[in-house]
Amino acid sequence: MTECIVVKLGGIAGKNLPHHFFQKIRYWKSQGKQVIVVHGGGNAVSRMMKKLNVQVQIVDGLRVTSKEVLAITKMVLIGHVQPDITNQFLEQGLAAVGLNAADQHCLIGDYVNKPVLGNVGSVSKVNVPFFENLLKEDIIPIVAPLALTEFNQWLNVNADDTACKIAESFKAESLYLMTDVPGIKVDGSWVSQLSLEEAAELKKHGVLTGGMIPKVEHAVCAVQKGVSHVHITDGLHEMGTIISRAEVRV
Ligand SMILES: Nc1ncnc2c1ncn2[C@@H]1O[C@H](COP(=O)(O)OP(=O)(O)O)[C@@H](O)[C@H]1O
Ligand SMILES: CC(=O)N[C@@H](CCC(=O)OP(=O)(O)O)C(=O)O
């Protein structure tokens, strides 16, 4: 399987990608590593919902997604956020293609809790050969956090979930969850490393709130399923908080 690094761009993190972000991507590619990007954009979805007078409801970091909210989410993520990110790659001379679940059924998912969350899903299957074909052509896939069920129903998926599932499927050496904070803060200090056990404990002790809850849960799961390191960071030039198995801590 292609050696790959997965980078997830949170809504704010993907807005104006700095020079050193692309420097790192180019460095990895010069080392023969391929890169897959997953983008978020939850903040842009919420902004649009407010403009349209649609109530925003988030439960444990997941957006309650009615039929109307799903339509807004697709419009904002695939219509606005994704082309803007893909264009930033093109401006840097990097071949990139924006993708969503309907492209060769590349992400299949299941409902998480339909009575409470509506059309919210979790990725259950990644079309690895489809992504591999793009990577072999030296193209960077820029993937939207949406999935289709086996019966072609659209699902709104948390972007960290999407990135973690893709990283698991590729047994990625690293997964970068880029966000608007430099890492995880515990008792007022940024933490540089966490073992799986330490990361799993944080939620229990109420250290994590909002979107950080699913982020850390999915990161733990990704490491359990074979991803070597997950970095929660605000830039590729920073290590941020590294979650890894204790025995391979760097
Ligand atoms: N213990 C914590 N350490 C750092 N950030 C935290 C913590 N608990 C909650 N957060 C919040 O998580 C946010 C990042 O998650 P989220 O808003 O979902 O970002 P993104 O859209 O980039 O995925 C931070 O802005 C911060 O307010
Ligand atoms: C189910 C669910 O919550 N989906 C997210 C998808 C976007 C996302 O995750 O964006 P960030 O990573 O920027 O937060 C949402 O609708 O906001």
Between the alpha carbon of residue 99 and those of residues 39, 70, 158, 181, 193, the distances in Å are: 10, 17, 16, 27, 32
Residue identifier of the C-alpha nearest atom 14 of ligand 2: 42
**Ligand at shortest distance from the CA of 44:** 2
**Ligand at shortest distance from the CA of 211:** 1
Provide, rounded to the nearest whole percent, the portion of the chain with pLDDT above 90.
Answer: 88
Any atom of ligand 1 within 6 Å of the Cβ of 141: no
List the one residue out of 9, 6, 10 whose CA is nearest residue 211: 10
Range of the domain at 149: 4-248
- CATH code for the domain of 110: 3.40.1160.10
Average pLDDT value over all residues in the chain: 94
Cβ distance 219 to 230 under 8 Å? yes
Number of domains in the chain: 1
Q: What is the pLDDT of residue 191?
A: 96
Residue 148 has pLDDT above 60, yes or no: yes
pLDDT digits (tens, 9 = 90+) for 15-38: 889 999 999 999 999 999 999 999
Residue 249 has pLDDT above 50, yes or no: no
For the whole model, what pTM was predicted? Answer: 0.96
Q: What is the pLDDT of residue 250?
A: 47
HSE, side-chain direction, 13 A CA sphere, residue 203: 17
Helix residue ranges per DSSP H, 97-141: 114-117, 128-136
Helix residue ranges per DSSP H, the chain: 19-30, 42-51, 67-76, 82-91, 114-117, 128-136, 159-169, 196-204, 212-224
**pLDDT band at 3, cuts 50/70/90?**
confident
Strand pairing category for 4-9 and 184-186: unpaired
How far away, in angstroms, is 248 Cα from ligand 2 center?
30
How far away, in angstroms, is 32 Cα from ligand 2 center?
31
The ipTM is: 0.97
14 Cα nearest atom in ligand 2: 13
Integer Cα distance of 190 and 187 in angstroms: 9
